[in-house]
Amino acid sequence: MPDYYNAKEVVQRGINIISAGRGKKPPVKDNEILVGIMNNGVGVVAPDVTSDSRFKHFYDAYSRGDWLKMDVYALPKDEVENCSDQGIVPINDLTKIVEENPPKIESRF
């Protein structure tokens, strides 16, 4: 599986995961991967954060202030092929998509 995905497709096809434990990776179901939506204020990238080490790497970078915001999305494995990496997505493009099509949200504690 790729290391990065298309942030616009992930927010449209995935589920925004809300987790009680900040800094703790949410549970992952068998039929999905976790994708971080990493926002630096200008653009976003969407790395695969399914593994504990990748989640920790990106969460630590967010905690240091390298990223302004980190959202975690569960992406069904059957949607991965529709989410090929497009590089950095301008934040305005992603904001417009989210406003027009609010993402599904799920709590995982």
Q: Quick one: three-class SS letters along the chain? A: CCCEECHHHHHHHCEEEEECCCCCCCCCCCCEEEEEEEECCCEEEEEECCCHHHHHHHHHHHHHCCCCEEEEEEEEHHHHHHCECCCCEEHHHHHHHHHHCCCEEEEEC
Structure tokens at 70: 């980190």
pTM value is 0.93
Tens of pLDDT, residue by residue, the chain (109 residues): 569 999 999 999 999 998 866 788 999 999 999 999 999 999 999 999 999 999 999 999 999 999 999 999 999 999 999 999 989 999 999 999 999 989 999 998 7
Tokens of 15: 């589920």
pLDDT at residue 71 in the model: 95
In order of 22, 46, 98, 108, the CA distances from 3 in angstroms are: 23, 9, 23, 23
